């Protein structure tokens, strides 16, 4: 939830400020990719990883990653409908370019669209892959080793889209 993200990040920032330690903002999509890399170490080099976070209705937040964990296409909100998944990202970003791409889809966003991929032999759905601190920790350690930290004052949650807030209906008198 939006409120949960704000509260969690505020608590983390408070601890970091009080203890004078750095803060790192690491996204759930990155953590999911690290999880699949740890649990499926033999992914072929021509597979693309699509972590998905449920964004309500038939929408997900997703990105496209290579098996080495590098980002191929940035985070976007995508509607899962009859025209999607057209899982063919810019193959010009791949070395070497290929037309026989295989796809791994993971995360709670993928859970709600399994039927869309029932007849797709190029898509492998891995429902057991979940974000967990044990997969986030190596990402944080690597960033710290490179001297990369976030600015405590300016780190904010990435929501992806605005909240769906409505005014309550007026009660009849």
Domains detected in the chain? 27-145 (3.30.420.40)
- What would the 3-class secondary structure string for 69-119 be? CCEEEEEEEEECCCCCCCCCCCHHHCCCCCCCCEEEEECHHHHCCHHHHCC
Per-residue pLDDT tens listing for the chain (173 residues): 678 888 999 999 999 999 999 999 999 999 999 999 999 999 998 899 999 999 888 889 999 999 999 999 999 888 887 665 565 554 444 444 455 778 899 999 988 878 888 888 888 999 999 999 999 999 999 999 999 999 999 999 887 666 555 667 676 66
Is this prediction's pTM over 0.85?
A: no
Task: Please tell me the number of Cα atoms within 13 Å of 104 on its side-chain side.
Answer: 27
């Amino acid at each position: 939830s939006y409120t949960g993200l704000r509260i969690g990040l505020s608590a983390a920032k408070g601890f970091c400020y009080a203890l004078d330690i750095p803060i790192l903002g690491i996204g759930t999509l990155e953590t999911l990719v690290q999880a699949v890399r740890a649990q499926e170490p033999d992914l072929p080099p021509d597979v693309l990883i699509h972590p998905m976070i449920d964004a309500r209705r038939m929408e997900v937040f997703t990105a496209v990653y290579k098996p080495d964990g590098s980002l191929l296409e940035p985070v976007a909100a995508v509607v899962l409908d009859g025209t999607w998944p057209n899982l063919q990202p810019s193959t010009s970003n791949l070395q070497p370019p290929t037309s026989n791409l295989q796809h791994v889809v993971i995360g709670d966003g993928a859970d709600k669209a399994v039927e869309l991929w029932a007849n797709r032999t190029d898509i492998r759905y891995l429902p057991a892959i979940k974000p967990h601190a044990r997969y986030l920790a190596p990402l944080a350690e690597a960033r710290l080793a490179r001297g990369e930290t976030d600015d405590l004052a300016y780190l904010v949650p990435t929501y992806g889209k605005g909240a769906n807030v409505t005014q309550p209906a007026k009660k009849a008198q």
